[in-house]
Amino acid sequence: MWWRSASFIMDRQHNPLQNDVVSMENDDNDENPNNTNISAYYQTRAAHNAVVTTDWLAQSQAAAAAAAASETSDGEKLDVVLNSDKALSVIDVFNRWRKQPHLAEAVAAIRALASVIRSSNATTMMELEIELKKASDSLKSWDATSISLTAGCDLFLRYVTRTSALEYEDFNSAKSRLIERAEKFGEISYKARKIIAMLSQEFIFDGCTILVHGFSRVVLEILKLAAQNKKLFRVFCTEGRPDRTGLRLSNELAKLDVPVKLLIDSAVAYSMDEVNMVFVGADGVVESGGIINMMGTYQIALVAHSMNKPVYVAAESYKFARLYPLDQKDLAPALRPIDFGVPIPSKVEVERSARDYTPPQFLTLLFTDLGVLTPSVVSDELIQLYL
């Protein structure tokens, strides 16, 4: 059987893109979480030693930029409307951006924070930074269980205000600089999926079988690009109960004429011997190099690891969070409704957590807009992002 090596070298010396924080996944929902029992997180929910060089990364980013430039995005039209309405709160702007079908929740928050800078009446940098901090706190409290939303807001503030030159400029020049950096961060985050999809194509080979879990838009982008490149592969989709997100992904793949097989969640081990690789998304990438993702990801990684199958994670860099969970119970609960189809006695306790933590030793590689990383490199990347 043909395998790619998991040994990678990230050549990032003299990389002008090194400090560009690039880019969330799971379904967006238009409603604010007023029900404390159900989290908004759920509601919105080479045969040789390959080398990832700066040239490869730059080519992927250039190609993604060209593709984005050729599109007339509805988001750009929305941006004009939002910028003209100074009375909107940051939550209002955020909720309007979230209605864009292909826009991740964290990117919507980034766009909302950028609008705060544009519409601010602050007269000093200190006032503007305080206003940004309050807006960021409002967004993070809107859904305290969303890892990517919190990480996206934190990275935005760090990226936008990270420059000593601001101390030596007049306020109007400083504000213009902040707006430029905010817009750049938003564009980089928006293009992240395309970059990840391009970087991952070398790992999908003709005749392979890919197992995916739940619905991840970045994983869908990877498979869509592979299909457009005329690669011959098939996909096993887990059902993804209780919300059956795997059904949605299988429907999308069927539209692309990709051979797809739907599995019940308990059939993963039974089918793993037919699988060549596992692709999953992530709600958050933590400091250890592990991931937090849809419930069931951990057990799939365990089965794949025991059968020597590579587990690949596709995640935008704005999901890199300053968290270090030691076990499953270190996670803030993100609850979801569960319908078994029959009445459940009140004395029976039901596990309703929507996500689990997969330790780094069960992951092979992470495909990000920063490049292809091993789990052990994640902590170094986090340090650079938050410096």
Q: Sign of the CA dihedral 147, 150, 156, 161? A: negative
Rounded to 10 degrees, the C-alpha dihedral 196/212/326/107 comes to 40
- Beta-carbon contacts of 43 under 8 Å, excluding residues fewer than 6 positions away, are 29, 31, 33
pLDDT (0 to 100) of residue 84: 46
Q: Which tens digit of pLDDT belongs to each residue from 147-205?
A: 888 888 888 888 777 654 445 567 777 777 777 777 777 777 778 889 999 999 999 99
Buried b (16+ CB within 10 A) or exposed e, 22-48: bbbbbbbeeeebeeeebbbbbbbbeee
On whether the CB atoms of residues 336 and 44 are closer than 8 A, the answer is no
> What span, in angstroms and rounded, lies between the C-alpha atoms of 335 and 353?
5
Amino acid of residue 302: L
Per-residue pLDDT reduced to its tens digit, 248-288: 899 999 999 999 999 999 999 999 999 999 999 998 899 88
Q: Name residues whose C-beta falls within 8 Å of residue 216's C-beta, 6 or more positions apart in sequence.
A: 25, 26, 249, 280, 281, 314
Q: Is the pTM of this model over 0.85?
A: no
Taking every pair of C-alpha atoms in the chain, what is the biggest distance, in angstroms?
67
Identify the segments of the chain with pLDDT beneath 50: 1-36, 41-42, 45-56, 59, 67, 70-85, 164-166
| E strand segments, 39-135 | none
Specify the pLDDT at position 129. Answer: 82
Instruction: Give every CB contact of residue 126 below 8 A, 6+ residues apart in sequence.
Output: none
What pLDDT does 189 receive? 74
Give bridge partners of residue 235 from the DSSP assignment: 210, 260
Between the alpha carbon of residue 11 and those of residues 54, 56, 188, the distances in Å are: 6, 10, 20
**H helices of 203-256, where?**
217-228, 245-255
Residues 6+ apart with CB under 8 A from 86: 119
